[in-house]
Chain A
Amino acid sequence: MNISHEWLKAFVPHALTAEQVRDLITAHIATVEGFERTRAELEPFVIGQVMESEKIPDTKLSANKVDDGTGALLDVVCGAPNVTVGAKYPFARTGTTMPEGLVIEQRKIRGFTSNGMLCSSRELGLGDDHDGILELQTDAAPGTPLLSVLPLSDVNLVVDVLPNRPDLLSHQGVARDLAAVTGVAMQLPPELSSIQPIANVMRDEREVAAGGVNIRITDAADCPRYIGVIIKGLTVGPSPEWLRNRIEAIGSRSISNVVDATNYVLHGLGQPVHAFDLKKVGGSQIVVRRAKPGESLTTLDGVERKLDPTVLVIADTARPTALAGIMGGQASEVTDATTDVLLEVASFAPKVVRLGRQKLGLSSDASYRYERGIDDAALPRIAELAAGLIAAVAGGKVEAMLVAGAAPAARTAVTLRPARVSKLLGDTVSADEVSKLLTSIGFAVAADGDTFSVTPPSFRHDVLRDVDLVEEVARLRGYDRLPDRLTASRPSNVPDHPMHVVGRRVRDALVAGGLYETRPLPYAKEPPAGAAPLVRVRNPIGDDEPYLRESLLNTLAGRAEHNLSRMQGDVRIFEIGTSFTPKAGGGVKEEIHVGALVMGARRPRHFTEPEPPAMDAWDAKAIAEAIALAAWPGARVDLVPGEGDVTWNVMVQGTSRGIVRNVQLDAPVWASPAFGVEIALGKMPANPIAAQGTHDYAKGEGAAAGARAAVRYEPLPITPAAEFDLALIVPDAVPAAEVERLIRVTSGDLLEAVSVFDEYRGEGIPAGTRSLAWRLTFRHPERTLRDKEIEGRRSALLKTLQKEIGVVVRTN
């Protein structure tokens, strides 16, 4: 909402600066988010007085001596016919930039030096006057800034009015609160204060006729009240200067006296009013009704709009003439030829205007206010002011006011315990102060024992409960006056959500492992035919990614490709976020997943290793193990070989929790292969509405967030270990895990550790086999093992390996 500082001052004659007004409005009323001086381009201009003037022969020019307040008289050449000795004019000194961009410099004209310029109103952007330079009627001394004598200087305050306060969508509305905050009494501006009541008023509940005009409301639920004022014999033309200044001060364009007057009422008093050209309203009929199927209307903006019964219209005998509360029709628009108007000052239901606006996709200053709620009770007075204003600026006679519909019911009072105000605010506010503050903004306060019965004014639709009144008191006193001491508090009864705890542990592990956390958008393209379905957004932002992703790894693959397209091949990224899956019966299953993707150099380049090896599947396997360890501390984790691109399935305590896989990318030839991990950490159940106390959103199964079982200490060994190596020839069909399993079951409980430390294929090793070298560590807890005992175990082991899986010892 654009608020003109000068216009506001016409309602509240305060003595504050625009900056002070801005700060008061922000602190107590609504945030001022813009502060723009108007006519700032005229700041460098001053008053110049012509002291001598002399015609330059054979030209239209004059050579003048001008006093600009600096002392010495300046030589100024002027081409205007109306230069008068002794008169004062706007003066541009040398160096001044004109509104159109020209910089005034010292010049020689016909041998005369000119130091500056006397200006016309056109040159200052103030009008189209061609008659010459602008003579100023002022007592101000030469050298005084022009803006201090012309009533043009203003400040546009851009106020952010939130949906609960439609009463602030006008100068009068902001002025009401400002008057309360400053203690300066509110008044009507001079242009409105002398307007007289209308003598000829006709009223009826549904239908009313006078002066040849008939107004009918078909449904009071859509239109509680419709006031029409007949004004005849007016002349449409330019607005007077004061009105044009008001309209231009809020950033609008002056159109004509009648249109400007209606805009004055909209922005000044907050009420949308519409002027019909009465002669173009068929049968002089105003019918407020829903549009019929198939009807259409060309609105003021020249667009033909197809209507249906969701849209409320104003119609004449034959067809719609305006969209009620949204926009007028082109056919009945006021033009230069208009002499008689019907002025509409009406109340339309917020919901019907909202539905129509949404249906037609057409928003206006009027619909914006109707949707939020207008001051219905003020309509007759506003109709008088609006009609009086039009008659004042365009002539004509206000013939009659027709009022169809009823005045709104009295507002319901809200009960307020003044003690509750102090209790909620944490500061002592006396009942007397509460009453005074509420009264200052139009609330009627009646004391009844310990409670107040508070009736909101007709323009406040947002005050329904006692807390709404508490806010009024708090803001009018000022939030800054409230104390801000930290006080002792009881600790939270809510445990940390397990997914937060686990996510944090997993994140720390991955960052320690050299990966970057990402927070990409969760949207996905349509899945390929045959793939599992995804959750679709009904009204997506764009058509390219209308789905929600299920796989975080797919999202990361897209981010990896983004990096490759920017020549970045070392990509180590992860995300902890939500995976969305459609549920069979509708609805969405949400899980918290961790996805990680790695490709490129395993280590940073170093002079000892100029070409570090590229990451491979073993790096991804280690990442999967690290995630599982962080998420399920102490649990048994197995990485079971998978199929196709899935290299391993991640099993935690026997349950499948995720995968490690090769990631296929749209990648340039220089890129290394990419490997990914995706593990489901736990569910985020979206339970239906639950009874209090039964809600279990924090009990989602998944990774263990709570205290883990303590690790049991194992005594440090006091006896020496015996180690030996086994180089084995292993057929390709036999996995290393199987060899290890057999070693473990055959070796007995003195086996302390077993690990594979070499793999070799090639010369000396039969085709279809490989050599695997293992190191076995044995230890007896109480004594040193004898060589014979070790040898016995070794030969028993070799026998079993050969018999069970055809593995023999390597001899070469």
Chain B
Amino acid sequence: MTDAPLSLQDFTSLLSQFHGEAAPAIDAASDADALEAVRTKYLGRAHGWLKDLSAKLGQLEKTDRAAAGAAFNEVRLRVEATLETRRVALTPARVAGALADPTMPARRQWTGAVHPVTQVIDEMIEIFRELGFTVALGPEAESPWYNFGSLNFPADHPAMDLHDTLYLADDLVLRTHTSPVQTRTLQGYAPPIRVLIPGNVHRRDPFDASHAPTFAQVEGLVVDEGITFADLKATLTHFANRFFGKTKTRFRPSYFPFTEPSAEMDVLCGVCHGSGCGVCKQSGWIEILGSGLVHPAVLESSGVDSEKYTGWAFGMGPARTALARHGIPDIRLLYDSDVRFLGQFAK
């Protein structure tokens, strides 16, 4: 070889000339055969243009060869990538038929669902857990003492008429509320007590669009030193704002034998936001739960010092909330277990 050494500048201009021709030629190939011809011309191992360029590397000054080699590799990788992209673009017809139309549906598995009433209970538990509550349970067949006596129900009094009771025996009833678990918890554990009590309760109610003989209830109980009505109001208002989104609460006088003072809690009607509509019977408020300070007689019947300890409790029906939140018109749908209904609540 007698030629003068090739300059780095000349070599890079040869490289860019190569890239400038090869890339459009690859993109212009209209089928696999054309693409193969282009590949042979530019990248062929035996006689391709690139092969010629690689042979020219030897003509460079030794000091330039490293930089020239890097530039050469860069161009080679780019052109090869262009070729591969074009190859994929030209070959889908040979891949399995399904992906020819990627809009076809995925191969899905069955999706399960948590019952809408359980979803409400779960959300309540999540919110109250942040406030230090745990979960207590109790039996559904109860003695009248746990269901009524320990909870300060006066015997032979119209207060009993609010609980139309199903009897299993003289001394055994189906619990009419989750409140007997208040007594069981107070008997079993020393304060501080902060529990949520979900469970099914039973009343002698007809099964119609708005009543069911068995339904879920969620009870809350707090007992410790220095617990006040202001704590009740603050905690339940906090819960309402977490559960319903930013809202307002209203507390009004009520009556339960096992709380004193007693209060019903309303939240702003979600439909009219307080101005009054058919859903809230023009009141602007929706009744959510009953609550109150634990009656000292309840603490005393479980052997808790009612002078030292005070507490508050509430009870809520998650089914009512589920009906309202999902616009379910008939409570029986919650019990029928129709798969077309249950499937609507898949998360």
Q: Is the CB of B338 within 8 A of A563?
A: yes
Q: Is the CB of B224 within 8 A of A490?
A: yes
A493 to chain B: which residues have CB within 8 Å? Answer: 189-193
Chain A 480-516 interface 0/1 with B at a Cβ cutoff of 8 Å (1 = within): 1011111101111111110110000001001111111
Interface check A541, CB cutoff 8 A = yes
**Residues A372 and B158 in contact in the complex (CB < 8 Å), given A468-B260, A537-B174:** yes
Chain B 296-324 interface 0/1 with A at a Cβ cutoff of 8 Å (1 = within): 11000011100000100000000000000
> Shortest distance in angstroms between B120's beta carbon and chain A's nearest beta carbon?
11
Q: For the complex, give the distance between the alpha carbons of A588 and B168 in Å.
A: 9
B282 to chain A: which residues have CB within 8 Å? Answer: 35
Interface positions, chain A 570-588, Cβ under 8 Å from B, are 570-573, 577-578, 580, 586-588
> Shortest distance in angstroms between A178's beta carbon and chain B's nearest beta carbon?
13
Interface positions, chain B 218-269, Cβ under 8 Å from A, are 222, 224, 226, 228-231, 233-235, 237-238, 250-255, 260-264
Q: Is the CB of B213 within 8 A of A514?
A: no
**Residues A483 and B156 in contact in the complex (CB < 8 Å), given A489-B224, A603-B109:** no
Interface check A522, CB cutoff 8 A = yes
Q: Which of A258-266, A287-295, A470-478 contacts B (4 or more CB under 8 A)?
A: A470-478
- Which residue in B140, B167, B255, B338 is a CB contact (below 8 Å) of A163? B255
Interface check B143, CB cutoff 8 A = yes
Q: For the complex, give the distance between the alpha carbons of A511 and B335 in Å.
A: 18
A571 to chain B: which residues have CB within 8 Å? Answer: 339
Q: For the complex, give the distance between the alpha carbons of A479 and B283 in Å.
A: 18
A61 to chain B: which residues have CB within 8 Å? Answer: none
**Residues A424 and B310 in contact in the complex (CB < 8 Å), given A522-B200, A690-B187, A695-B184:** yes
Q: Which of A452-460, A662-670, A681-689 contacts B (4 or more CB under 8 A)?
A: A681-689
- From A471, A523, A563, A609, name the one whose CB has the most chain B CB atoms within 10 angstroms: A471
B261 to chain A: which residues have CB within 8 Å? Answer: 467, 470-471, 474-475
B235 to chain A: which residues have CB within 8 Å? Answer: 486
Q: For the complex, give the distance between the alpha carbons of A556 and B138 in Å.
A: 23
Interface check B337, CB cutoff 8 A = yes
- Which residue in B140, B194, B212 is a CB contact (below 8 Å) of A590? B140
Q: Is the CB of A474 within 8 A of B229?
A: yes
Q: For the complex, give the distance between the alpha carbons of A485 and B236 in Å.
A: 11
A590 to chain B: which residues have CB within 8 Å? Answer: 139-141
Chain B 118-155 interface 0/1 with A at a Cβ cutoff of 8 Å (1 = within): 10000000000001111111111111011000000000
- Which residue in B139, B185, B186, B262 is a CB contact (below 8 Å) of A686? B139
> Shortest distance in angstroms between B191's beta carbon and chain A's nearest beta carbon?
7
Q: Which of B16-24, B30-38, B72-80, B202-210 contacts A (4 or more CB under 8 A)?
A: B202-210
B166 to chain A: which residues have CB within 8 Å? Answer: 537-541
A350 to chain B: which residues have CB within 8 Å? Answer: 157
Interface check B342, CB cutoff 8 A = yes
Interface check A775, CB cutoff 8 A = no
Q: For the complex, give the distance between the alpha carbons of A684 and B109 in Å.
A: 35
- Which residue in A467, A479, A494, A577 is a CB contact (below 8 Å) of B193? A494
Q: For the complex, give the distance between the alpha carbons of A688 and B187 in Å.
A: 12
Q: Is the CB of B131 within 8 A of A489?
A: yes
**Residues A568 and B338 in contact in the complex (CB < 8 Å), given A480-B250, A541-B205:** yes
- Which residue in A31, A426, A507 is a CB contact (below 8 Å) of B230? A426
Q: For the complex, give the distance between the alpha carbons of A693 and B281 in Å.
A: 47
B194 to chain A: which residues have CB within 8 Å? Answer: 489, 491-492, 494
A471 to chain B: which residues have CB within 8 Å? Answer: 253, 260-262
Smallest Cβ-Cβ distance to A473: which chain B residue: B261
Q: Which of A21-29, A200-208, A747-755 contacts B (4 or more CB under 8 A)?
A: A21-29
Q: Is the CB of B234 within 8 A of A586?
A: no
Q: Is the CB of B231 within 8 A of A541?
A: no
Q: Is the CB of B252 within 8 A of A539?
A: no
Q: For the complex, give the distance between the alpha carbons of A475 and B214 in Å.
A: 33
**How many residues in A have their beta carbons less than 8 Å from beta carbons of B?**
110
A499 to chain B: which residues have CB within 8 Å? Answer: 137
Q: Is the CB of A692 within 8 A of B340?
A: no
Interface check B161, CB cutoff 8 A = yes
Interface check A696, CB cutoff 8 A = yes
B253 to chain A: which residues have CB within 8 Å? Answer: 28-31, 471, 475, 479
- Which residue in A163, A494, A507, A518 is a CB contact (below 8 Å) of B159? A163
Interface check A267, CB cutoff 8 A = no
B109 to chain A: which residues have CB within 8 Å? Answer: 514, 603-604
Q: For the complex, give the distance between the alpha carbons of A350 and B253 in Å.
A: 24
- Which residue in A33, A426, A467, A588 is a CB contact (below 8 Å) of B296? A467
**How many residues in B have their beta carbons less than 8 Å from beta carbons of A?**
106
Interface check A519, CB cutoff 8 A = yes
Interface check B102, CB cutoff 8 A = no
Q: For the complex, give the distance between the alpha carbons of A691 and B185 in Å.
A: 12
Smallest Cβ-Cβ distance to A604: which chain B residue: B108
Q: Is the CB of A487 within 8 A of B231?
A: yes
> Shortest distance in angstroms between B29's beta carbon and chain A's nearest beta carbon?
33
A482 to chain B: which residues have CB within 8 Å? Answer: 229-230, 233, 251
Interface check B107, CB cutoff 8 A = yes
Q: Is the CB of B110 within 8 A of A484?
A: no
Interface check B105, CB cutoff 8 A = yes
**Residues A162 and B255 in contact in the complex (CB < 8 Å), given A514-B112, A590-B139, A684-B139:** yes
A513 to chain B: which residues have CB within 8 Å? Answer: 110, 112
B251 to chain A: which residues have CB within 8 Å? Answer: 479-480, 482
Q: Is the CB of B134 within 8 A of A495?
A: yes
Q: Is the CB of B293 within 8 A of A563?
A: no
Q: Is the CB of B234 within 8 A of A483?
A: yes
Interface check A521, CB cutoff 8 A = yes
Interface check A185, CB cutoff 8 A = no
Q: Is the CB of A31 within 8 A of B264?
A: yes
Q: Is the CB of A539 within 8 A of B204?
A: yes
Interface check A657, CB cutoff 8 A = no
Q: Is the CB of A521 within 8 A of B213?
A: yes
A577 to chain B: which residues have CB within 8 Å? Answer: 200
Q: Is the CB of A371 within 8 A of B184?
A: no
Interface positions, chain A 290-345, Cβ under 8 Å from B, are none
B132 to chain A: which residues have CB within 8 Å? Answer: 489-492
Q: Is the CB of A487 within 8 A of B174?
A: no
Interface check A427, CB cutoff 8 A = yes
Q: Is the CB of A467 within 8 A of B260?
A: yes
Interface check B172, CB cutoff 8 A = yes
Interface check B117, CB cutoff 8 A = yes
Q: For the complex, give the distance between the alpha carbons of A586 and B170 in Å.
A: 11
- Which residue in A351, A491, A608, A695 is a CB contact (below 8 Å) of B156? A351
Interface check B39, CB cutoff 8 A = no
23 CB-based A-B contacts, threshold 8 Å: A163-B158, A163-B255, A164-B159, A424-B228, A467-B293, A468-B260, A480-B250, A480-B251, A484-B234, A485-B234, A486-B234, A516-B337, A516-B339, A517-B342, A518-B342, A577-B200, A587-B141, A588-B168, A588-B172, A686-B142, A689-B145, A692-B187, A696-B188
Knowing that A162-B254, A603-B107 are A-B contacts, what are 11 other residue pairs whose CB atoms are under 8 Å apart, sorted by A's residue number? A480-B251, A483-B233, A487-B231, A490-B192, A494-B193, A519-B115, A519-B118, A573-B339, A586-B169, A604-B109, A692-B303
What are the 4 closest A-B residue pairs judged by CB atoms, nearest first? A426-B228, A426-B230, A514-B110, A471-B261
